[in-house]
Amino acid sequence: MIFLKSFFSREVLIYSKKSSNVISPVIFFLICIAFFPLAISNDPKELSRLAPGLIWICILLAGMLSIQTIFKEDYDDGSLDLFYVRRFSMLQVVLIKIFVNWIFTALPLILLSCSMVFLLYFPLEKLLNLIGSLFIGTLIISFFGALAGALSLGRNSILASAIMLPLSLPVLILGSSASTYSSENITFFILLLLALLFFSVPIISIACIGAIRLHYE
């Protein structure tokens, strides 16, 4: 328990000291969103039709940025070695790291998506659908991102994205459908997303541990 608590506060401390990891996805997300109307059209009708898809694509792409922050810095400065050698429970390490990473990189984006009601004329009555699906969807994406990051530790980041993005395809489909279609179907999408979450958490965290281990053999 003590380990859990101190490890959690360590992670939080790292993210709050190194704010670039938190800010860069936000900047990226805003730039992406801002450039879409410039590239497509400024017609409110068309934009509000495209908005759910655009938001989800941008969230996914912003998720690529945080792949590198989950394990890479600890791997580079050797603290991941220590966690591994000291036989801390790697499952706890992995889960806490993913969760804290989600809090600091995905939550700001979810909050920011509320502003899309103004920027992309996202229909207000579907905002709850969007936020709900984003909450679950980004958590799943964080897990896939962690796996991609762990597999490609010390390699180039394009490779990590090439691993993460195809895996996240169901999340993209379910999430953007949840925020596109009318609110009576919302429970259906949310349940499917939750099912995907509960399905991928154990599998991906075990795979993550395996992926970290292979760098130390």
Residues 188-217 interacting with other proteins (rule: CB under 8 A): 196, 199, 203-204, 207, 210-211, 214-215, 217
Which of 68, 177, 179, 205 binds other proteins (CB under 8 A)? It is 177
Which of 62, 163, 178, 190 binds other proteins (CB under 8 A)? It is 163
CB-nearer residue toward other proteins: 78 or 166: 166
CB-nearer residue toward other proteins: 123 or 170: 170
Which of 54, 64, 174, 178 binds other proteins (CB under 8 A)? It is 174
Q: Print burial letters for 106-130: b (CB count within 10 Å at least 16), e (below 16).
A: bebbbebbeebbebbbbbeebbebb
Q: Length of the chain in residues, anyone? A: 217
For helices 157-167 and 169-180, give the axis angle rounded to 10 degrees: 60
184 binds other proteins (CB under 8 A): no
Task: Report the distance separating Cα 78 and Cα 120, nearest Å.
Answer: 44
Q: Residue 88 phi/psi, 5° resolution?
A: -65, 155
Closest residue by Cα to residue 163 from 143, 179, 177: 143
Which of 111, 162, 191, 194 binds other proteins (CB under 8 A)? It is 162
CB-nearer residue toward other proteins: 22 or 134: 134
Residue 53: CB partners within 8 Å, gap ≥ 6? Answer: 176, 180
Question: Which residues of this protein are in contact with other proteins, per CB under 8 A?
Answer: 147, 151-152, 155-156, 159, 162-163, 165-167, 169-170, 173-174, 177, 181, 196, 199, 203-204, 207, 210-211, 214-215, 217
